[in-house]
């Protein structure tokens, strides 16, 4: 041991960010084994848009541990995320008091199999998530959602959609693993900034974000993501918008 090395030194934590797909242990193969490789290589997750450098932003929703996401924003973004989650093989359960807002999406996504189900608020049954059948639960229950019967669990992520800040929003954000914020009023931006430990520049930017842009953050990391719909998504959901 070197004289200058502290006895109880611990490695510095590697700053991570929730937008990247879940990390697995690294595996190595010899060149002769590549022909037998049948699984895709790389991060798994939902491409939710592009970051400020134009690189794809991937949100890993299928995780072996519980994962809670809070989105203060529009239903349009939540619907795009739900559609793209279905595209990765996940089942989506939507708990909503606005069934008519989600019915067209559910009908379109369920054309081949039952992968999107709609439920009244407080009436979501157990979903039976597994590694082979992960679940995304979208809670569209207003600015003050009641306690859910079904919560985050291994292979079952929860996305709580808040159209604007309510009295329970700070508590929900503090408990979430990841928070997304779209355009909010200046006084709401101040509350988000205090809760999520945002710098002044980001607090100021929140009240002027364009449609389709989300600040995804944790108390220690943040990035802006622009979600652009594909042609089929535009045909089904229309253009990006903050409010319905």
Beta bridge partners of 233: none
- Three-class SS of residue 155? coil
Averaged pLDDT, 39-48 = 61
CA nearest to 236, candidates 103, 144, 116, 127: 103
**pLDDT tens digit sequence for 143-175:** 999 988 899 999 999 999 999 999 999 999 999
Task: Count CB-CB contacts under 10 A for residue 116.
Answer: 24
CA nearest to 19, candidates 29, 195, 53: 53
Rounded CA separation 19/153 (Å): 18
* Sheet with 56-59, side-by-side order of all strands: 56-59, 46-50, 221-226, 213-218, 178-181, 67-72, 156-162, 135-140, 91-96, 116-119
- List all residues 6 or more positions away from 195 whose beta carbon is below 8 Å from its beta carbon: 169, 170, 173, 174
* Number of Cα atoms under 13 Å in the Cβ half of residue 80: 28
CATH number for the domain formed by residue range(s) 60-237:
3.40.50.300
pLDDT at 110: 87
DSSP H or E stretch at residue 72? strand 67-72
**pLDDT tens digit sequence for 49-73:** 999 999 999 999 999 999 999 999 9
Q: Which residue has the higher pLDDT, 157 or 35?
A: 157
Query: What residue spans define the domains of the chain?
Result: 60-237
Q: Which residue has the higher pLDDT, 97 or 9?
A: 97
Residue 200 has pLDDT above 60, yes or no: yes
């Amino acid at each position: 041991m070197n004289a200058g090395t502290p006895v109880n030194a611990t490695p510095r934590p590697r700053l991570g960010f929730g937008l990247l797909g879940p990390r697995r242990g690294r595996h190595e193969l010899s060149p002769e084994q590549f022909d037998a490789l049948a699984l895709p290589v790389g991060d798994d997750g939902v491409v939710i848009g592009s970051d400020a450098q134009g690189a794809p932003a991937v949100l890993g929703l299928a995780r072996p541990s519980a994962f809670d996401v809070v989105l203060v924003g529009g239903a349009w973004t939540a619907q795009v995320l739900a559609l793209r989650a279905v595209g990765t093989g996940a089942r989506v359960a939507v708990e909503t008091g606005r069934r008519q807002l989600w019915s067209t999406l559910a009908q379109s996504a369920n054309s081949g199999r039952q992968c999107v189900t709609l439920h009244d608020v407080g009436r979501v049954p157990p979903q039976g998530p597994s590694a082979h059948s992960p679940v995304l639960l979208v809670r569209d229950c207003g600015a003050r959602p009641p306690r859910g019967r079904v919560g985050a669990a291994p292979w079952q992520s929860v996305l709580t959609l808040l159209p604007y800040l309510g009295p329970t929003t700070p508590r929900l954000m503090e408990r979430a693993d990841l928070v997304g914020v779209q355009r909010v009023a200046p006084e709401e931006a101040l509350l988000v900034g205090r809760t999520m430990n945002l710098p002044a520049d980001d607090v100021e930017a929140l009240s002027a974000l364009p449609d389709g842009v989300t600040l995804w953050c944790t108390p220690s990391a943040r990035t802006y993501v622009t979600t652009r719909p594909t042609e089929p998504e535009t045909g089904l959901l229309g253009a990006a918008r903050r409010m319905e």
